[in-house]
Amino acid sequence: MERIGVIGGGLMGSGIVEVAARAGLDVVGVEVSADAAKAAEARVEASLRRAESRGKIAADEVAAVLDRIRFVDDLEALADRRLVVEAATEDECTKLDLFRRVGQILTDDDAILASNTSSIPIVKLGAVSGRADHVMGVHFFNPAPVMKLVELIPSLTTASATMDRMRSFVTDELGKEPIEATDRAGFVVNSLLVPYLLSAIRMYEAGYASAADIDRGMVLGCGHPMGPLALSDLIGLDTVRAIGISMYEEFKEPLYSPPPILDRMVEAGLLGKKAGHGFYPYQEK
């Protein structure tokens, strides 16, 4: 799978592009517009320059990695890809439309179409793609260039050969460590993580403590590297809410239901670090 396509150039999409290009692969990233494509390209370069400044990568390697990346605003550029990873916004209608269109665009019958979704059923995406046996979930974690874990999620219709190819690719080509999860909303990590984050948001909403003290409690008292509210800001409050909604719709468990304050913050555009404000204010350097 030497030719990779990535749909979406946000934090996750650009991170996956960087991971694949640093592994020596030819990568095409697709965004919704020319301006968004330029912004995604700049995001990848900024990440590589940070790695260079920390001695993680040499300057000539940065140039070589960037040469292997091309960002466009046309899905047709994915036609010759051997693997396409969808990392668009966590919205079911958007993802279903993309899988329907890309399934028709890919010219290689053996190409794999994967989703980086956190919660949307893989079987639904496969059903609309016209190539259900070659569709599965490949869930990276933020920041993708740093985090070692990748969740691999086959659906009821995913061929065993597809799963074997992706496990080998993630391990041998990307140098990541995969775990396998069943096709249930939230998979492994978010099924444990999101109820914890939502519980912290409810605690903040009820006035138990300030955001800073809730986070300090978990960092200093439980040894977590980051508190739940700061982590929610990093993930994106809209993404946390979308995952919670998806999990609630599947399981109808109250602990998955987003609290009202989270709804209000998303409606107000207070989405966390990417928007400049969430539970904490952020200032771009």
Are 94 and 108 contacting, i.e. CB atoms less than 8 angstroms apart? no
User: How far apart are the C-alpha atoms of 232 and 228, rounded to whole Å?
Assistant: 6
Length of the chain counted residue by residue: 285
Please report, as a single letter, which amino acid is at residue 196.
Y
Inter-residue contact 70 to 27 (CB < 8 Å): yes
Q: Where are the alpha helices (DSSP H) in the chain?
A: 11-22, 34-53, 59-67, 92-105, 122-129, 160-168, 189-205, 211-222, 228-235, 237-251, 260-267
Catalytic residues: 118, 139, 151, 190
Q: Please give the structure tokens belonging to residue 44.
A: 């990848």
- Interatomic CA distance for residues 104 and 211, integer angstroms: 47
Query: What is the distance between the alpha carbons of residues 158 and 166, in angstroms, rounded to a whole number?
Result: 11
